[in-house]
Amino acid sequence: MPSRFVVVAESSLTELQREKRQRTAPLGTEVSEGGPGPGLGDGKIVDLRGRGGDEGPGPDSKGSVGPQAASNGDAEQQYSLRWNDFHTSILSSFRHLREEEDFVDVTLACDGRSFTAHKVVLSACSPYFRRLLKANPCQHPIVILRDVAQKDMEALLRFMYHGEVHVGQEQLSDFLKTAQTLQVRGLADVNTKENQENIPVSTLKLFATLRRGEAVTPLPTPGRLDV
């Protein structure tokens, strides 16, 4: 197994001394005769992975490893490990958790039907749900949403967990009004620059059309039952 240490040599080494050190240095070490390298203090060079044999994991489709300069002033070199498929994997995991109803901790009841979900997903996707759930920190609340059609709630949950949903033309108007009332990010016009930039132009135009017609009426404060 190659050594994890680095041999540090003085700049005054003779050619013979350098050759001798190269022959006697353990496999995977580095011999340097110069001063401190860029970003490294005290004239030392440290490579945690070595230069030969087993150099540890390299970049692939699942992740990447790259050197990163230490910020604390010492000579130890840090490595940045990145999960390239992080966002895709997390989204897929949440979808799987909901499909299997694993670790669900909130129930949404509307129009004679109930849907289980995760507080963290609802809170991340809707300031409305975030405020509601923070104000009621029970273990598994049942949120009763009056005047919300079950097909709209089902479509909204799919949008929050998948980032996309298909809605028929006849349902689209009611669906967007419900999304507006529940402040679902990516669909709702919540009057912030960040959300405005994330809403498609066609959706913003439809919101304007709805405003000129029937006004969007806020839902009553949802009821709650502790399980």
Residue found under tokens 């604390």: 72
Over pLDDT 90: what percentage of the chain?
A: 45
Give the predicted TM-score (pTM) of the model: 0.55
For residue 35, the enclosing domain spans: 1-84
135 and 220 part of one domain: yes
Structure tokens of 84?
């390239």
Contacts of 217 (CB under 8 A, 6+ apart): 181
62 and 123 assigned to the same domain: no
Residue 81: its H or E element: strand 78-83
**Is the model more confident about 3 or about 157?**
157
- State the DSSP code for 224: E
Tell me what pLDDT residue 222 has: 41
CATH of the domain at 169: 3.30.710.10
**Phi, psi (5° rounding) for residue 78?**
-100, 160
* Cα separation values, 181 from 123, 129, 153, 176, Å: 15, 11, 12, 9
The answer on pLDDT for 211 being more than 60 is: no
| pLDDT tens profile 35-78 | 444 444 444 444 444 444 444 444 455 666 666 655 556 678 99
In the prediction, which pLDDT does 216 show?
39
Mean pLDDT of 7-34: 48
Evaluate whether 186 touches 197 at the Cβ level (below 8 Å): no
pLDDT of residue 2: 44
Task: Judge if 113 and 169 occupy the same domain.
Answer: yes
Tell whether 35 and 96 lie within a shared domain: no
Query: Are residues 102 and 33 part of one domain?
Result: no
Q: Nearest 5 degrees, angle CA 137-CA 144-CA 199?
A: 85
Calculate mean pLDDT across residues 101-113: 95
Distance CA 44, CA 10 (A): 10
Cα–Cα distance, 123 to 109 (Å, whole number): 17
Residues 175-198: what's their mean pLDDT?
Answer: 76
Q: What is the number of domains present in the chain?
A: 2
**Is 57 in the same domain as 149?**
no
Which of 64, 84, 104 is the endpoint of a domain? Answer: 84
The predicted structure's pLDDT at residue 72:
58
Instruction: Give residue 18's pLDDT band: very low, low, confident or very high (50, 70, 90).
Output: low
Please state, for a pLDDT cut of 70, what percent of the chain lies above it: 50
